[in-house]
Amino acid sequence: MKKFAMKAVYTGGVIGLAAVITGCGDNDTNNDANQADGGADNATAEENNEEDEDGNNDAPAEDDGEEVLEEGEEPDTDGDSYNFATSPQGTSVNALGNGVGSLLNSESDISTTVQPYAGINAWLPQLNDGTIAFGIDSAPDMVFAYNGDEEVGYEESHDELRLIMRGNFIQATGLAVREDSDIESVADLAGERVASDFPGATIAELISEAVLYANGMTWDDVQDAPVPSIDRGVEGLQNNQLDATFALVPSTPLMQEAHNATGLRGFDFLDDYGPDEIDDVPDDVLAEIQSRVPGAQMTTVDPDGYIAEETTAIEYPNYFISSSHIDNDTVYEVMETVWEHHEDLHDIHPWFQGWVEEQFFDEEPEIPYHDGAIEFFEDQGLWNDDVQSVQDELLSQ
């Protein structure tokens, strides 16, 4: 039996796609923002370029011209500024980092220096040891790193990572087929050629596998067809070399162009539960999804492009994180500034529309909160015994 963990090749920012959650804000409020760039921000260089063409990297704190650091390279600062890690320019995560960094610089006494990295695995070790103070990316990546999941590229536990607050949710629709295909459900994939592997875009492999296993199937039930990237999977689908492949949300240029040229079609993430039944999905089915995409929850996607009708999907959050090396007062001030001025971020990038007060507090966090964050949420009247129990369990791992 083929499992994603045994064959995934991790090359930075598996999920970007950070993020996998629970306790989502209002779906109607967040759907458009979540779909703006799709579910794999760092998936491929091609996707990054497409986002740039959409003009989604218009954050006020530009890192234009900054050297993109690789794993092991440290940022060069004067010591008076907190290092803020982000992904390469042109990605949505880069826009989030620049936006928050700029907000802190203008509305607080905290000075930040935003530094782009080649991928999340290039900066998480430095955040874990305190060289970097802050970062934003997908929750699933944070979970894999905190737990030290070797099978997706983290050989050691990054146990100093601490959650500041939850950001926006990112939608993932699952798989797509050609419009003229007879495949109308996950069960119909039996014996068909399904794209797999996706080196450098592990989220595509994770989500593809989640689709199969949540519907009672495995890779043994299909013909797994390794592809090097998300765009190659879509290309293979267009050329009739594949029968199904991981799909970004309909609004991404890659999917728009493929749909306009060839005609694509999506289908429900789960065969047995339609858009009106996502609250009835059993815990064991959710567990199959969340074991591959930590923190994922069910959602729906409205008709758009290759999605012909309202369709079930999953979503997972970005996390704004720090480490235990950063003092409580600094983290408290960071949170207070974002909490009070988050509306100033909404026009910077569509993903920021999901940065709202009811979204920031994750009652079922996937990594432990920073003590400064706990103090802030206590002052907001949000912290409770149930969350403290989750916190204690995470810290005891």
Q: What is the pLDDT of residue 71?
A: 52
Q: What is the pLDDT of residue 72?
A: 53
Domain 12-172+316-395: which CATH number of 3.30.499.10, 1.10.260.40, 3.40.190.10, 3.30.70.360: 3.40.190.10
- What pTM did the predictor assign? 0.74
Q: What is the pLDDT of residue 243?
A: 98
Sheet containing 245-247, strands listed edge to edge, beginning at the edge strand earlier in sequence = 245-247, 174-178, 264-266
Q: What is the pLDDT of residue 78?
A: 52
Q: What is the pLDDT of residue 67?
A: 61
* CATH topology match: 12-172+316-395 vs 174-313: yes
State how far the Cα of 251 lies from the Cα of 38, in Å rounded to an integer: 7
Residue 293 in contact with residue 313, Cβ under 8 Å? no
Count of H-run helices and E-run strands, the chain: 13, 11
Q: What is the pLDDT of residue 198?
A: 85
Show the tokens assigned to 37.
């760039």
| Structural domain boundaries in the chain | 12-172+316-395, 174-313
Helix (H) or strand (E) holding 47: helix 45-53
Is the domain defined by 174-313 classed in CATH 3.40.50.2300?
A: no
Residue 140 in contact with residue 339, Cβ under 8 Å? no
Give per-residue burial for 117-150: e unless 16+ CB within 10 Å, then b. bbbbbbbbbbbbeebbbbbbbbbbbbbbbbbebe
Helix (H) or strand (E) holding 54: none
pLDDT averaged per 10 residues, the chain (length 397): 35 37 36 46 40 36 51 55 89 91 97 89 92 94 89 86 96 96 98 90 87 98 94 95 94 90 97 97 96 93 96 96 98 98 96 96 96 98 98 95
Show the tokens assigned to 157.
């536990």
State how far the Cα of 131 lies from the Cα of 384, in Å rounded to an integer: 32
Q: What is the pLDDT of residue 155?
A: 84
Burial of 293 by CB count in 10 Å (0-12 exposed, 13-18 middle, 19+ buried)? Answer: buried
Show the tokens assigned to 240.
């009739």
Show the tokens assigned to 356.
């709202």
How many residues does the structure list for the chain? 397
